[in-house]
């Protein structure tokens, strides 16, 4: 994969926040299968799928990660709460730099519970 695309998807600053949050790689209990991969390459492939709308099975080979590996790792990371923790880490970092402006905020109605019987 081109270094430019990789750097745009996962700049060094984002990787520095994400890397310590990734759960350690565990080989599959049945043996064989997935060997350890470059975690940044896998993370970049997952970010590509999530941000591009590309289907997992159409992940370009240039990422050097199979679609199955990327999806499996995405599932493990999701179960481990990576995305919530990474979101918090990014907000903390931006806040520490003074780069957050909380003057306005948007609430996604899909994430707010609708109360029955309340009008």
Element housing 40 (H / E): helix 39-52
pLDDT tens digit string along 84-97?
A: 999 999 999 998 99
List Cβ neighbours of 10 (8 Å cut-off, separation of 6 or more).
18, 40, 43, 44, 47
**What CA–CA distance (Å, rounded) separates 80 from 85?**
9
Question: At what angle are helices 82-96 and 67-79 packed, to 10 degrees?
Answer: 70
Closest CA relative to residue 44, chosen from 12, 89, 76, 85: 12
DSSP character for 101?
A: -
Which token pair is 59? Answer: 């992940």
φ and ψ of 85, to 5 deg: -70, -35
What is residue 104's predicted lDDT score, i.e. its pLDDT?
74
> Is this model's pTM higher than 0.85 or not?
no
What is residue 71's predicted lDDT score, i.e. its pLDDT?
96
How do the pLDDT tens digits run along the chain, 119 residues long? 667 788 899 999 999 999 999 998 777 676 655 556 789 999 999 999 999 999 999 999 999 999 999 999 999 999 999 999 999 999 999 989 988 887 777 776 665 566 776 55
């Amino acid at each position: 994969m081109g270094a430019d695309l990789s750097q745009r998807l996962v700049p060094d600053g984002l990787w520095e926040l994400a890397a310590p949050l990734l759960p350690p790689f565990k080989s599959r209990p049945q043996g064989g299968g997935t060997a350890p991969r470059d975690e940044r390459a896998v993370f970049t492939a997952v970010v590509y799928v999530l941000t591009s709308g590309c289907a997992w099975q159409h992940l370009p080979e240039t990422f050097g990660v199979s679609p199955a590996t990327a999806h499996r790792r995405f599932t493990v990371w999701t179960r481990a709460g990576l995305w919530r923790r990474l979101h918090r880490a990014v907000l903390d970092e931006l806040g520490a730099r003074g780069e957050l402006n909380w003057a306005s905020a948007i609430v996604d109605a899909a994430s707010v519970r609708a109360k029955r019987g309340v009008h």
